[in-house]
Amino acid sequence: MTTISPLASNDKSPWIVLLVVGYVLGQYSHNVAQLVDQLFVPLYTICVMLYLASRVFGTFIQNTPSLRKQEPKSVPVPSFLPQENVDAMLHAEQPIDLTGAWKLVENKNFEEFLATQGVPWPLRSAANRARPTHRITHRGNMLTIKIEGIIESQTTYIINGPKVKGTVRGRLFEDAVSYLPNGVQMLKRAIEEKYTIQVCRRLSEDQQKIILTSTATFDDGRDSVQSTQLFARMD
Protein backbone atom coordinates (compact mmCIF):
# COMPACT_ATOMS: atom_id res chain seq x y z
CA MET A 1 0.00 0.00 0.00
CA THR A 2 1.37 3.34 -1.02
CA THR A 3 0.95 6.43 1.22
CA ILE A 4 0.76 9.82 -0.52
CA SER A 5 2.21 12.80 1.37
CA PRO A 6 0.01 15.91 1.52
CA LEU A 7 2.90 17.86 0.08
CA ALA A 8 2.97 15.60 -2.87
CA SER A 9 -0.74 15.82 -3.42
CA ASN A 10 -2.12 17.76 -6.32
CA ASP A 11 -4.69 19.38 -3.98
CA LYS A 12 -3.67 23.07 -3.82
CA SER A 13 -6.44 24.16 -1.37
CA PRO A 14 -4.14 24.59 1.70
CA TRP A 15 -1.81 26.77 -0.28
CA ILE A 16 -4.67 28.93 -1.51
CA VAL A 17 -5.93 29.34 2.05
CA LEU A 18 -2.48 30.34 3.22
CA LEU A 19 -2.16 32.86 0.41
CA VAL A 20 -5.56 34.39 1.22
CA VAL A 21 -4.78 34.62 4.93
CA GLY A 22 -1.39 36.18 4.20
CA TYR A 23 -2.95 38.73 1.88
CA VAL A 24 -5.62 39.66 4.43
CA LEU A 25 -3.02 40.06 7.19
CA GLY A 26 -0.84 42.12 4.90
CA GLN A 27 -3.70 44.42 4.03
CA TYR A 28 -4.67 44.70 7.71
CA SER A 29 -1.12 45.58 8.69
CA HIS A 30 -0.95 48.11 5.89
CA ASN A 31 -4.23 49.70 7.03
CA VAL A 32 -3.01 49.82 10.66
CA ALA A 33 0.20 51.50 9.55
CA GLN A 34 -1.79 54.04 7.55
CA LEU A 35 -4.06 54.66 10.56
CA VAL A 36 -1.04 55.27 12.81
CA ASP A 37 0.56 57.58 10.25
CA GLN A 38 -2.62 59.54 9.56
CA LEU A 39 -4.13 59.76 13.05
CA PHE A 40 -1.89 58.90 15.97
CA VAL A 41 1.33 60.53 14.79
CA PRO A 42 -0.30 63.97 14.18
CA LEU A 43 -2.24 63.64 17.46
CA TYR A 44 0.97 62.87 19.37
CA THR A 45 2.72 65.79 17.69
CA ILE A 46 -0.10 68.17 18.69
CA CYS A 47 0.02 66.94 22.31
CA VAL A 48 3.79 67.51 22.49
CA MET A 49 3.41 71.02 21.04
CA LEU A 50 0.64 71.87 23.51
CA TYR A 51 2.76 70.59 26.42
CA LEU A 52 5.78 72.64 25.37
CA ALA A 53 3.62 75.73 24.84
CA SER A 54 2.08 75.33 28.31
CA ARG A 55 5.53 75.07 29.91
CA VAL A 56 6.75 78.20 28.11
CA PHE A 57 3.57 80.13 28.96
CA GLY A 58 3.68 78.97 32.58
CA THR A 59 7.27 80.15 32.94
CA PHE A 60 6.33 83.50 31.42
CA ILE A 61 3.43 83.93 33.86
CA GLN A 62 5.62 82.92 36.82
CA ASN A 63 8.25 85.51 35.89
CA THR A 64 5.74 88.31 35.25
CA PRO A 65 4.45 89.67 38.61
CA SER A 66 1.58 91.60 37.00
CA LEU A 67 0.20 88.38 35.44
CA ARG A 68 0.93 86.02 38.34
CA LYS A 69 -2.09 85.01 40.39
CA GLN A 70 -2.18 87.09 43.53
CA GLU A 71 -2.63 85.03 46.65
CA PRO A 72 -4.92 86.56 49.26
CA LYS A 73 -3.22 87.76 52.39
CA SER A 74 -3.72 85.34 55.23
CA VAL A 75 -2.81 85.87 58.85
CA PRO A 76 -2.89 83.02 61.37
CA VAL A 77 -5.26 83.95 64.16
CA PRO A 78 -3.66 83.61 67.63
CA SER A 79 -5.52 81.43 70.10
CA PHE A 80 -5.82 84.20 72.68
CA LEU A 81 -7.85 86.43 70.33
CA PRO A 82 -11.67 86.07 70.57
CA GLN A 83 -13.13 85.12 67.19
CA GLU A 84 -15.54 88.07 67.20
CA ASN A 85 -12.57 90.46 67.29
CA VAL A 86 -10.75 88.97 64.29
CA ASP A 87 -12.58 90.98 61.64
CA ALA A 88 -12.08 94.24 63.53
CA MET A 89 -8.37 93.51 63.94
CA LEU A 90 -7.89 92.72 60.25
CA HIS A 91 -9.63 95.93 59.16
CA ALA A 92 -8.11 98.27 61.73
CA GLU A 93 -6.40 101.43 60.52
CA GLN A 94 -2.96 100.53 59.18
CA PRO A 95 -0.50 103.45 58.94
CA ILE A 96 2.19 101.28 57.32
CA ASP A 97 2.38 97.92 55.55
CA LEU A 98 5.38 95.68 56.21
CA THR A 99 4.03 92.75 54.20
CA GLY A 100 6.67 91.00 52.11
CA ALA A 101 9.62 88.62 52.06
CA TRP A 102 12.79 90.26 53.37
CA LYS A 103 16.32 88.86 53.02
CA LEU A 104 19.12 89.83 55.42
CA VAL A 105 21.95 91.43 53.45
CA GLU A 106 24.07 93.15 56.12
CA ASN A 107 24.90 92.88 59.84
CA LYS A 108 26.54 95.46 62.09
CA ASN A 109 27.68 94.56 65.61
CA PHE A 110 25.36 91.53 65.60
CA GLU A 111 27.86 89.04 67.00
CA GLU A 112 28.71 91.36 69.93
CA PHE A 113 24.98 91.86 70.51
CA LEU A 114 24.53 88.09 70.88
CA ALA A 115 27.62 87.73 73.06
CA THR A 116 26.23 90.04 75.74
CA GLN A 117 23.24 87.68 76.03
CA GLY A 118 25.44 84.69 76.71
CA VAL A 119 25.13 83.04 73.30
CA PRO A 120 28.11 80.65 72.79
CA TRP A 121 30.72 81.63 70.21
CA PRO A 122 29.95 78.84 67.68
CA LEU A 123 26.26 79.81 67.59
CA ARG A 124 26.76 83.54 67.39
CA SER A 125 29.46 83.14 64.73
CA ALA A 126 27.13 81.01 62.62
CA ALA A 127 24.24 83.42 63.19
CA ASN A 128 26.41 86.36 62.13
CA ARG A 129 27.23 84.64 58.83
CA ALA A 130 23.70 83.41 58.15
CA ARG A 131 21.32 85.26 55.84
CA PRO A 132 17.81 84.39 57.04
CA THR A 133 14.56 85.44 55.40
CA HIS A 134 11.79 87.20 57.32
CA ARG A 135 8.35 86.68 55.77
CA ILE A 136 5.95 89.28 57.14
CA THR A 137 2.19 89.36 56.73
CA HIS A 138 0.67 92.60 57.97
CA ARG A 139 -3.07 93.29 57.93
CA GLY A 140 -4.66 95.86 60.16
CA ASN A 141 -3.36 95.31 63.67
CA MET A 142 -2.33 91.69 63.01
CA LEU A 143 1.33 91.07 62.26
CA THR A 144 2.79 87.65 61.50
CA ILE A 145 6.57 87.23 61.30
CA LYS A 146 7.94 83.97 59.95
CA ILE A 147 11.71 83.53 60.24
CA GLU A 148 13.45 81.06 57.93
CA GLY A 149 17.10 80.32 58.71
CA ILE A 150 19.26 78.77 61.44
CA ILE A 151 16.48 79.57 63.89
CA GLU A 152 12.99 79.10 62.46
CA SER A 153 9.83 80.45 64.01
CA GLN A 154 6.45 81.94 63.22
CA THR A 155 4.53 84.22 65.57
CA THR A 156 1.43 86.37 65.17
CA TYR A 157 1.17 89.60 67.18
CA ILE A 158 -1.61 92.08 67.81
CA ILE A 159 -0.15 95.56 67.47
CA ASN A 160 -1.02 97.53 70.61
CA GLY A 161 -2.64 94.34 71.87
CA PRO A 162 -1.94 91.58 74.40
CA LYS A 163 1.62 90.41 75.05
CA VAL A 164 2.77 87.20 73.41
CA LYS A 165 5.00 84.62 75.11
CA GLY A 166 7.55 82.61 73.13
CA THR A 167 10.99 81.04 73.32
CA VAL A 168 14.20 81.93 71.48
CA ARG A 169 17.15 79.54 71.88
CA GLY A 170 15.39 78.03 74.89
CA ARG A 171 14.83 81.39 76.61
CA LEU A 172 11.35 82.57 77.53
CA PHE A 173 10.35 86.02 76.22
CA GLU A 174 7.24 88.14 76.56
CA ASP A 175 6.67 90.41 73.55
CA ALA A 176 4.63 93.57 73.09
CA VAL A 177 4.32 95.30 69.70
CA SER A 178 3.44 98.93 68.88
CA TYR A 179 3.63 101.25 65.87
CA LEU A 180 6.47 103.59 65.04
CA PRO A 181 6.10 106.52 62.59
CA ASN A 182 7.68 104.39 59.82
CA GLY A 183 7.51 100.86 61.20
CA VAL A 184 6.87 98.78 64.29
CA GLN A 185 8.58 98.35 67.65
CA MET A 186 8.73 95.11 69.61
CA LEU A 187 9.73 95.01 73.28
CA LYS A 188 11.01 91.54 74.14
CA ARG A 189 11.31 90.90 77.85
CA ALA A 190 13.59 87.98 78.82
CA ILE A 191 11.64 86.87 81.86
CA GLU A 192 14.25 84.67 83.58
CA GLU A 193 17.44 86.50 82.51
CA LYS A 194 16.16 89.96 83.50
CA TYR A 195 16.91 92.00 80.39
CA THR A 196 14.86 93.64 77.63
CA ILE A 197 15.46 93.84 73.88
CA GLN A 198 13.92 96.67 71.89
CA VAL A 199 13.51 95.56 68.25
CA CYS A 200 12.60 98.31 65.78
CA ARG A 201 11.72 97.52 62.16
CA ARG A 202 11.70 100.68 60.05
CA LEU A 203 10.66 100.72 56.40
CA SER A 204 12.82 102.76 54.00
CA GLU A 205 11.29 105.58 51.95
CA ASP A 206 11.35 103.51 48.77
CA GLN A 207 9.76 100.58 50.70
CA GLN A 208 12.47 98.22 49.42
CA LYS A 209 14.43 97.82 52.65
CA ILE A 210 13.80 97.26 56.35
CA ILE A 211 16.32 98.54 58.87
CA LEU A 212 16.13 96.34 61.96
CA THR A 213 17.72 97.83 65.09
CA SER A 214 18.01 95.69 68.23
CA THR A 215 19.00 97.22 71.58
CA ALA A 216 19.53 95.09 74.69
CA THR A 217 19.32 96.73 78.13
CA PHE A 218 20.11 94.89 81.37
CA ASP A 219 18.59 95.15 84.83
CA ASP A 220 22.00 94.73 86.52
CA GLY A 221 23.28 98.04 85.15
CA ARG A 222 25.52 96.71 82.38
CA ASP A 223 25.97 98.93 79.34
CA SER A 224 23.34 98.47 76.66
CA VAL A 225 24.43 97.03 73.32
CA GLN A 226 22.92 97.64 69.89
CA SER A 227 23.07 95.90 66.52
CA THR A 228 21.73 96.95 63.12
CA GLN A 229 20.59 94.62 60.34
CA LEU A 230 19.59 95.54 56.80
CA PHE A 231 16.92 93.48 55.01
CA ALA A 232 16.14 93.81 51.28
CA ARG A 233 12.74 93.10 49.75
CA MET A 234 12.62 89.86 47.77
CA ASP A 235 9.18 90.21 46.12
How high is the mean pLDDT of the chain? 78
pLDDT 10s digits, 177-234? 999 999 999 999 998 889 999 999 999 999 999 999 999 999 999 999 999 999 999 9
d(CA 193, CA 171): 8
Counts of helices then strands in the chain (DSSP H, E)? 5, 10
Residue 59: pLDDT over 80: no
**Which 8-state DSSP code applies to residue 6?**
G
Confidence of residue 42 (pLDDT cuts 50, 70, 90): low
> Do 139 and 90 meet the contact criterion of CB atoms below 8 Å apart?
yes
Mean pLDDT for 9-26 is 59
Residue 159 burial (10 A CB sphere; 0-12, 13-18, 19+): buried
What ranges make up the beta strands (E) of 133-180?
133-139, 142-148, 153-158, 164-168, 171-180
Domain edges within the chain: 12-62, 83-233
Q: Which of 161, 224, 229 is nearest to 195 (CA)?
A: 224
CATH number of 83-233: 2.40.128.20
Spatial distance between the Cα atoms of 66 and 195, rounded to a whole number of angstroms: 46
For residue 47, pLDDT over 70 is answered with no
